[in-house]
Structure 1
Amino acid sequence: MKWIKLIVSLALPQIAGIIGSLFTIKSIPAWYAALNKPAINPPNWIFGPVWITLYVMMGISFYLIWIKKDVPGFGFLFSVFIFQLILNALWSIIFFGLKSPGFAFLEIIFLWLAILMCIIFFYKVSKTASLLLLPYLLWVSFASALNYFLWQMN
């Protein structure tokens, strides 16, 4: 049973990433490549490995919550986790699919808040699960700044 929970926990964030990447991949060669970029913009090759690592950390974090016995409010924790995954995928759809950095910036603020909610609520159940989400929050903080600059520069 624990193996199934681990596989599902690891798969959920990867699925969100795959959904987002369907919109990202199409836009990078033409639209994104043509944008004016700020000095803080990392090379394109860095995003894939960072996101894959973060998705694995998200999955492990959720797994640590899921395997706890009798977690009060597990349904709520699951909902918050899924909500932030939806927002994660939605950001790529808005930014790359709709080519709307302004709307994406507004959306990423809600993503940041949803991640923070996960960190706070997960902490009450597992400090390790909560800490595993901190790099995600930091990366989305950086991504928010990058999104803002891309919006303002284009």
Structure 2
Amino acid sequence: MASARSAGRLVAAVLAVNAVGAAPSLVSSPDTPWFESLEKPAIYPPEIAFPVVWTVLFTLLGIALWLVWERTGDGRRLALSLFALQMLVNVAWTPAFFSLQAQGVALGIIVALWVLVVATIAAFARVDRRAAALLVPYLAWITFATVLNFELWRLN
């Protein structure tokens, strides 16, 4: 029975992280004349890449969250707090960039997100190394997204 409950918590974690991560797209979108008019850097990926990558990453984050949630002991509370904080900062980026059209503010947000993701990985590693490893692709994507944000700000 404990295994079924744990599996249920895994599904809940994955669905919750995907829902929170997708929420900003309900109010902000790159499908605007403003964004379409921006000069894009050469490294800008095709639009279809974004929902695919984010779904995979949020699924990995949900699994990592579940791994830490299932543990007990030192560091768990800090790891979960950092995870929640980085998710809040992640969610703030989309409206800052697309709704407010504040590329500089969005750049500050994504740099803060990068720092928080590094801190979250370190905190997760103290609780469950597998959970920390699952966040590495997310850090790579946030690094790439930071470069994209900077380039969009620089070019426009």
**Which TM-score applies when normalising by structure 2?**
0.91
Q: CA deviation at 1:84?
A: 0.6
Aligned length: 152
Does 2:99 correspond to 1:97?
A: yes
Partner of 2:10: 6
**What aligned pairs does 1:54-133 form with structure 2 within 5 A after superposition?**
54-68=57-71, 70-133=72-135
Q: CA deviation at 1:73?
A: 3.6
The answer as to whether partners of 2:68 and 2:80 remain within 8 angstroms in 1 is no
Point out where structure 2 has 5 or more consecutive residues left out of the alignment.
none
Q: 1:151 aligns with which of 144, 150, 153?
A: 153
Once residues 74 and 59 of structure 1 are traced to their aligned partners in structure 2, the CA distance between those partners, rounded to angstroms, is 15
RMSD (Å), alpha carbons: 1.3
Partner of 1:31: 34
The answer as to whether partners of 2:75 and 2:126 remain within 8 angstroms in 1 is no
Q: 1:49 aligns with which of 47, 52, 66?
A: 52
The answer as to whether partners of 1:16 and 1:88 remain within 8 angstroms in 2 is no
Once residues 74 and 12 of structure 2 are traced to their aligned partners in structure 1, the CA distance between those partners, rounded to angstroms, is 21
Point out where structure 1 has 5 or more consecutive residues left out of the alignment.
none
The answer as to whether partners of 2:39 and 2:155 remain within 8 angstroms in 1 is yes
Once residues 73 and 124 of structure 1 are traced to their aligned partners in structure 2, the CA distance between those partners, rounded to angstroms, is 7
**Which TM-score applies when normalising by structure 1?**
0.92
Q: 1:139 aligns with which of 138, 141, 144?
A: 141
The answer as to whether partners of 1:122 and 1:129 remain within 8 angstroms in 2 is yes
Q: CA deviation at 1:71?
A: 2.4
SS at match of 1:62: helix
